[in-house]
Chain A
Amino acid sequence: MNASLFRLRCAYPKSGRLSFLGHLELISTVERSVRRAGLPFAVSNGFARRMRIQFSSALPVGVSSLAEYFDLFLTERLDEDDALATIAAYSPAPLRPVRARYMPSSLPALEAWLDRSSWTLDLGPSIDGALAEDAIAALRRKGTFTYLRGAKEKTVDVSAGYVSHALSEGEGGLSLALATLSTPSGAMRPEAFVRAAFDLVGAGGALPEYLRCIRVAQHHLEDGALVEPYELSLPKLVD
């Protein structure tokens, strides 16, 4: 990493209709916002000279988020709040950054560093809490599940990806809070996890056609403690 560059970490949501953007679509949308903002971004060398920018792990298409991040490498150190205001002015509202702070250039790549995700899923009004508990427990006992991603069958190791869960009743029905961990072999998709669990107990048909899902937080897991994306040494206890 070039030490003369300035690593600006931006936090942004992914909301509304734009939760249906794929990861590559999101990347090009953010890159174009940065270009429109006229920020002094760094450009890589080589055959394809691209903007120096890193993104946190891909969200499944249709999943919204309160906590997405990108690290933009600048060639000049701008005031953080000025940079934030400029980029926000040129971003589509559902992706408008809400915080920007400089981080050490020496940190690992953002996608690998933010390995812990917290999600909430609306399971809908017709799901009973006890059934949901049974389904999740059954899938954890089974240990793996497979699902189709496009035409490809993917096998997921539940023990590697699952961290914790909690169920609560809300206005719209049952809500699931799920924590997952991504590993070098991939991340567990919350919707795939929930559908596999309910399929296992023969209740897949009770879930809504569209399972509304939000990523509510991302952290770095270090020695069993959670590190906030803007903090380097203020761990919280694992929940």
Chain B
Amino acid sequence: MRAERRDCFHLIEPLLPLVEKPARYLDHEWGACEEQDGPFHVCMVYADVYEIGQPNLGIAILYNELNGCEGISCERAFLPWTDMISLMRERGIPLLSLESASPLASFDVVGFTLAHELIMTNVLEVLDLAGIPQVGEERAEDDPIIIAGGPSAWNIEPMAPVFDAVLLGDGEESIKDVCRRIRDLRAEGVPRAQILRELAKIQCVYVPSLYTAVVDGGSTRWGYAVPIEPGIAPEVVFKRCEPDFASTEPIAQRIVPYLETVQDRLSIEVLRGCARGCRFCQAGMTYRPVRERSLEQIVDATSKALSTCGYDEVSLSSLSTTDHSQCREMLVELGKLVDDKGIRVSLPSQRLDSFGVDMAAAVAGGRKSSLTFAPEAGTQRLRDVINKNVTEDDLERAARNAFENGWRKVKLYYMMGLPTETDEDIAAIPATAARVLEIGREVVGRGRKSGISVSVSVAVLVPKAFTPFQWCGQLPREEVVRRQMHLLESTPKDSDIRITYHDARTSLVEGALSRMGRAGFPIIRRAWERGARFDAWTSEFSFETWVEAARDAGYDLEDIATESFDIDARLPWEHTSPGISKGFLQREWRRALAGVTTADCTMASCAGCGVCPSLGVSNVLQGVRS
């Protein structure tokens, strides 16, 4: 039943002195949309604490789009931290939105952004705390419609029972289409089940309840989803893509948080999509094609946003910012703009092959703390397998360039568990770090005062849907741990090289969640029942809880994560599509095993991924990439 819409801030106000970081729950930030007249009310939820969720660009974009619609209001909600959750449960207080402090269960639509797989138990926690049934089929006629989208919607099957509808791809227009449709149908008194059937007619909207999983000889054990009734829902739901990305609003972040967030800076999305073709990268495959904003738009938007928000740092965000065809000019122009105000321009990470001397000089103004590169694999052979088209020379040139331009700390990101990986590839990681350190010492000098250091972070490959590695099983945990030990043993004894690696157990849970089909939902629900939440937080994660939850549901967690799929099998997520063709992914998998690279179509000819013809779009570049 729909809860009553009313301001309940007085219920949580007495709890504020009793919890950590009460600023998480205050609302009233500069730029927040306080006028929430509706009459149609949507709440966008990031199912983690405020400081993690608030900087999310997806939420910011959808919030602005919906609040710009006549008759629709959009608010935000985040999952309170465990101390606040306990107090709210103790006192029977339901989860509230920020702006109007209304119960989440009073909204017409509740939308989740799924930024990663480890957020799924938090989604269940949000729904339970809000008093909204966790499973779609248990919801009453008048309950909010629960929708979702975001990067982890590309294998949504394990959470299919939860969401009434899932929006695939760019959300700028589709969120408005969906909310307007629900509003109109509600106004006509159309029953909930019929509303969902109508939503399935909108391009990019996947309504899980209209599909069923079929397991047969051509599928994996998870089966594949087919429409229950012919003609009601499409066999394949294609993503929505904004062909004219530059026509979308460049300033998404208008709300200025009070408390320090994980990305406490202005973020301008300078381009969307990446065609480098790294074979492990889900975003690189699912956000295609590449669409750049123009230099003028970026500089103008940055200037306006800095003055309206008051940030002292701007990040030029995208999947690969230094690939922007006008990146050099952009950095120079922004440098002029922010020169005397103590403002810093930053890039999320730098491509080794496109980070030139001029870029190094232009980034970050006077403050040069550390520079991040992602070679991803230790040897050229393995970099060719994963299609990371950078060479040893690129790395050495970029490192020398960075040290000569004033940086003293370099971070290098790698992965472990890549297909065909050997101990030699692992040992090459610290060897490369040592080489980078040596370059730094050559340029800056030796001794403590030089301040040179290299940190290496090694993640575990989690094979994701719609990548050429989607057929690979994840590396077993025991083998990950052995390779991590080998990594440490291969590292030279030098205090200026720091090696860290991801927890093999967390990666295993992420791997299982990335590969399961619809039948995997009982594992997630059981894990939540056993107390799993905030799984992405080291302090809260319990591997044993997940192992036991899988066992309760009749599965072996490691078995799920490490299982390889036949290359011709119908996969659990193939009824949704980012536009990339299965043939292209199969070809890329074979080329990976042969160590053959594939060029970036923004710099060479078309690689035949299938996105442009299937979605009727194309790359949009502002200049020539080099």
A interface residues with partner B (beta carbon < 8 Å): 17-18, 20-22, 24-25, 28-29, 31-36, 38, 43-44, 47-51, 61-62, 90, 92, 94, 209-210
Contacts and interface: CB of A to CB of B under 8 A. Distances in A.
B340 A43 contact: yes
B537 interface: no
Contact of B341 (A18, A25, A35, A94): A35
Contacts of B256: 29, 32
A72 to B, nearest CB: 14
B260 A36 contact: no
B497 to A, nearest CB: 23
B555 interface: no
B22 A62 contact: yes
Contact of A36 (B13, B18, B310, B367): B310
Interface in B427-473: none
A49 B342 contact: yes
A25 B50 CA distance: 14
A47 B367 contact: yes
Tell me which of B16, B18, B27, B342 has the highest count of chain A C-beta atoms within 10 A of its own C-beta. Answer: B342
Given A21-B258, A38-B307, A61 B22 contact: yes
Interface residues of B, number: 31
B258 A29 contact: yes
Contacts of B264: 28
Majority DSSP secondary structure for residues of B touching A: loop
A126 B16 CA distance: 22
Interface string B242-277: 000000000000001011100010000000000000
Contacts of A25: 23, 258-260
B14 A209 contact: yes
A33 B16 CA distance: 24
9 contacts: A20-B23, A22-B21, A22-B259, A36-B309, A47-B366, A62-B17, A62-B22, A90-B310, A210-B14
A36 B311 CA distance: 8
A105 B30 CA distance: 31
Contacts of A35: 306-307, 310-312, 341
A92 B26 CA distance: 13
Contacts of B26: 17-18, 20-21
Interface of B: 13-14, 16-18, 21-23, 26-30, 256, 258-260, 264, 306-312, 340-342, 365-367
A38 to B, nearest CB: 7
The 3 closest A-B pairs by CB, nearest first: A32-B310, A35-B310, A49-B342
A29 B310 CA distance: 9
Contact of B16 (A20, A24, A43, A47): A20
Contact of A34 (B17, B21, B22, B310): B310
Tell me which of B29, B260, B310 has the highest count of chain A C-beta atoms within 10 A of its own C-beta. Answer: B310
Given A22-B259, A34-B310, 4 more contacts: A35-B341, A44-B342, A49-B367, A61-B22
Nearest to A210: B17
Nearest to A94: B28
A126 to B, nearest CB: 16
Contacts of B340: 43
Contact of A18 (B18, B28, B307, B310): B28
A33 B14 CA distance: 28
Contacts of B260: 24-25, 28
Contacts of A49: 342, 365-367
Nearest to A75: B340
A22 B24 CA distance: 11
Contacts of A20: 16-17, 22-23, 26
Tell me which of A34, A48, A94 has the highest count of chain B C-beta atoms within 10 A of its own C-beta. Answer: A48
Contacts of A43: 340-342
A130 B16 CA distance: 30
A33 B307 CA distance: 10
B365 A33 contact: no
Contacts of A36: 30, 307-310
